């Protein structure tokens, strides 16, 4: 018999730009993750650190300062105690979302009571695909088209597959992401889950406390002026795609027994989830079949879902998702606080941010009952997780 897995709290660092002048250029990835874990447990001070049953942490580039069995390394570095285990996992962009699902499953079967689950990606230290050696059979045996290995090209392919998603509509969605992110920042939406980090730069030490990537001065005209780096006359630009970023954060999951023992206040509980495979050449379409399957499994329709947090890897995949479910581009239940086009997408970390923002919706909208976190995933996959108010 399965029990419930409750989302108690989540913490992340301000997202930085993956460049030499970015927030975290001189900060280790594992130290970023340690900061988020310590901040999370400081907030949930009734939980003794040594009572954490597992630390499940994701990274896409599991090398250098993101290597060495990351979950266990973080347990030691964060001072949780030598008796706290941990492990690392990789499902590219859905790393943290998979970590959360794995941790929740351990809680639901009664094997564990308290799990820390999250992700980190320092794309400044580990650029996308820089330390990857794809098997040559992918191309020699024509297992995938060469475009499948370049995410921007897969987004252009999706434009080809969905001609109704025009460049203008993608730019419209991108502008909305910037505007909603700016409003959420002004309204203090992120204040309950973004914690400051002390970092070093060429100018000395400083504290960063707000996402670095958003461009609040973005206009329709400035977006229209951008050209695609992936295809002559293409539709995918730096303005309607997620950036290259550094970020870290995680969540605390608990069983009903732990909630009672430590006096915790759950926000939501994990109900069900799906992971699906799709054509690698149009990997951005993944959230559509993943969400379709999730709804079918649970007997729900999109109208039964009150809030959706979808990773904005590219505007084209978001607009295609909205079209499929008959939702307008400005639907107020999809990414109400903006998304990765404005905030950035530090790969394996981003799923944790989606969970935090969905929890923010549950706290701010008392009438909201059900929510979904969903993502596209490199090499052709999609993920969708169903949550209910606790």
> Does 99 share its domain with 145?
no
Contact at 8 Å (CB) between 126 and 136? no
The pLDDT, as a whole number, for residue 61 is 95
Q: Are residues 153 and 283 in the same domain?
A: yes
Same domain, yes or no, for 186 and 262?
no
Same domain, residue pair 67 and 173? no
Token reading at 4:
């419930």
> Residue 131: its pLDDT value, please?
83
Catalytic residue check, 376: yes
Tell me whether residue 318 is one of the annotated catalytic residues: no
Instruction: Name the active-site residue from 93, 126, 213, 318.
Output: 93
> Is residue 224 domain-resident?
no
Say which CATH number the domain at 89 has.
Answer: 3.40.47.10
Partners of 115 in the β-ladder: 54, 253
Number of independent structural domains in the chain: 2
Residue 158 in any domain: the answer is: yes
315 shares a domain with 253: no
- 54 in the same domain as 82: yes
Q: Is 210 inside a domain boundary?
A: no
What does the DSSP 8-state code read for residue 303?
G
* 212 lies in some domain: no
Which residues are CB-neighbours of 271 under 8 A, at least 6 positions away? 298, 370, 386, 387, 388
Print the domain residue range for 247. Answer: 6-126+243-268
For position 308, what pLDDT does the model report?
98
Task: Verify whether residue 345 is a known catalytic residue.
Answer: yes
DSSP 178-211: HHHHHHHHHTTGGGGTB--EEEEETTEEEEE-S-
- Domain-located, residue 234: no
- Residue 39's SS3 state is helix
Please name the residue ranges forming H helices in 273-334: 287-298, 315-324
Within this chain, do residues 248 and 378 fall inside the same structural domain, yes or no?
no
Q: What is the CA radius of gyration of the chain?
A: 20
Nearest of 272, 249, 276 to residue 91 by alpha carbon: 276
Return the pLDDT at 202. Answer: 84
Q: How far apart are CA 383 and CA 291, in angstroms?
A: 7
**Same domain flag for 263 and 281:** no
Residue 314 is predicted with a pLDDT of 98
User: Is there a single domain that holds both residue 179 and residue 298?
Assistant: yes
Question: Average pLDDT for consecutive 10-residue bins of the chain (390 residues)?
Answer: 90 97 97 98 98 98 96 98 97 98 98 98 92 91 93 97 98 98 97 96 93 96 96 96 97 98 98 98 98 98 98 98 98 98 98 98 97 97 98
C-alpha to C-alpha distance for 11 and 39, rounded to whole angstroms:
7
* Catalytic residue (choose from 125, 126, 213, 376): 376
- Does residue 366 share a domain with residue 331? yes
Claim to verify: residue 365 and residue 287 sit in the same structural domain: yes
**Residue 58 shares a structural domain with residue 147:** no
């Amino acid at each position: 018999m399965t029990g419930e897995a409750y989302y108690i709290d989540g913490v992340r660092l301000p997202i930085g730009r993956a460049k030499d002048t970015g927030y975290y250029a001189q900060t280790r990835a594992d130290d970023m993750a340690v900061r988020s874990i310590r901040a999370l447990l400081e907030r949930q001070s009734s939980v003794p650190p040594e009572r954490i049953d597992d630390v499940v942490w994701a990274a896409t580039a599991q090398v250098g300062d993101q290597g060495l069995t990351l979950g266990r390394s973080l347990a030691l570095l964060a001072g949780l105690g030598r008796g706290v285990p941990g492990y690392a996992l990789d499902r590219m962009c859905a790393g943290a979302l998979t970590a959360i699902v794995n941790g929740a499953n351990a809680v639901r079967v009664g094997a564990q009571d308290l799990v820390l689950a999250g992700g980190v990606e320092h794309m400044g230290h580990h650029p996308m695909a820089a330390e990857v050696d794809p098997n040559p059979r992918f191309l020699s045996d024509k297992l995938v088209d060469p475009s499948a290995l370049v995410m921007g090209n897969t987004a252009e392919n999706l434009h080809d597959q969905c001609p109704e998603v025009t460049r203008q509509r993608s730019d419209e969605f991108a502008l909305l992401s910037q505007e909603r992110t700016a409003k959420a920042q002004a309204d203090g939406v992120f204040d309950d889950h973004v914690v400051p980090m002390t970092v070093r730069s060429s100018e000395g030490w400083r504290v960063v406390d707000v996402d670095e990537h958003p461009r609040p001065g973005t206009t329709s005209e400035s977006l229209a002026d951008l050209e695609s780096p992936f295809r002559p006359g293409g539709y995918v630009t730096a303005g309607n795609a997620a950036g290259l970023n550094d970020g870290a954060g995680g969540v605390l999951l608990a069983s009903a027994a732990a909630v009672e023992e430590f006096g915790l206040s759950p926000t939501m509980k994990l109900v069900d989830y799906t992971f699906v495979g799709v054509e690698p050449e149009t990997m951005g379409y993944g959230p559509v079949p993943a969400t379709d399957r999730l709804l079918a499994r649970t007997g729900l329709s999109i109208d039964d879902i009150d809030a959706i947090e979808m990773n904005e890897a590219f505007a084209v995949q978001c607009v295609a998702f909205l079209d499929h479910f008959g939702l307008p581009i400005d639907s107020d239940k999809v990414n109400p606080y903006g998304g990765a086009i404005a905030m950035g997408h530090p790969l394996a970390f981003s799923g944790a941010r989606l969970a935090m923002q969905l929890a923010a919706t549950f706290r701010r909208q008392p009438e909201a009952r059900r929510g979904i976190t969903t993502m596209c995933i490199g090499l052709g996959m999609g993920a969708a997780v169903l949550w209910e108010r606790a």
